[in-house]
Amino acid sequence: MATVKPFRRQRWRAPRRPPPANFLRPRRPWFAWLGRHFGFLALIALVIGATAFAHRPWHELGAPRPVVAASIRVIDGDTLRAAGERIRLSGIDAPELSQTCRDAHGREWQCGRAAKARLVDLVSRGSVACSARGRDRYGRTLAICSAGDIADLGEALVRDGYAVDYRRYTSDYLAAEDEARAARRGIWQGDFERPEDWRRRHPRS
């Protein structure tokens, strides 16, 4: 027996006509496009901001992070190695290992090696703890480090006359530098070239 489907009345719709050739669609306002793509734009802005933050100079970074310094090895007058990580003492600049200076009598002496020996002596005072400030262009961790009862190894080196305040980045150790100069300690006993200038003249040393 055949099934009879109930009759449904169809609504009459006028056939769509194609728009004329000179028809122009109304333009949506620019903020409508922004609204539809806001999530995508926000993601791009977040990625750009995170990348910019990661490449900010060390002195513009926020709170320091601790650096574990169980076994310390002194590389030169302002650089340490701890657990395979190179740590550059922040805010100071010590003579390079092969750099020489002149004493009060004009005699040449190995001020770069003397700076390293002084840092070795300071590190041996007790356990070393470092607080990172960022990284330099060579990938080294920039940090302020203490050893035993010495709160700041960098400040101690500058005050003893075995490093200078790194004026390109900071002025935190200018007072310690003035004290060393007045007392004619270390490199201040005679003539010397600032390490930054010396490196510029000896790029491969």
Task: Evaluate if pTM is beyond 0.85.
Answer: no
The answer to whether 86 touches 135, Cβ cutoff 8 Å, is no
- Dihedral sign (CA 31, 37, 39, 45): negative
Top pLDDT among 105 and 13 is at 105
* CATH label, 65-201, candidates 3.30.1330.10, 2.40.50.90, 2.40.110.10, 1.20.1260.10: 2.40.50.90
pLDDT for 169 equals 85
In this predicted structure, what is the pLDDT of residue 58?
Answer: 39
175 Rama sector, left if φ>0, alpha if ψ -120 to 50, beta otherwise: alpha
Q: Which of 4-8, 12-16, 82-86 has the lowest mean pLDDT?
A: 4-8
- Say what percent of the chain tops pLDDT 70: 65
Stretch among 44-48, 155-159, 166-170 having the lowest mean pLDDT: 44-48
State whether the Cα torsion 149-132-139-99 is positive or negative.
negative
Measured distance between the N- and C-terminal CA atoms of the chain, rounded to whole angstroms: 104
Output the pLDDT for position 205.
57
Q: How crowded is residue 113: how many other Cβ atoms within 10 Å of its Cβ? A: 17
pLDDT at 65: 52
What average pLDDT does range 63-88 have in this prediction? 80
Domain map (residue ranges) of the chain: 65-201
Range picked from 42-46, 64-68, 114-118 for highest mean pLDDT: 114-118
Mean pLDDT of 88-98: 96
Paired sense of beta strands 101-102 and 65-67, if any: unpaired
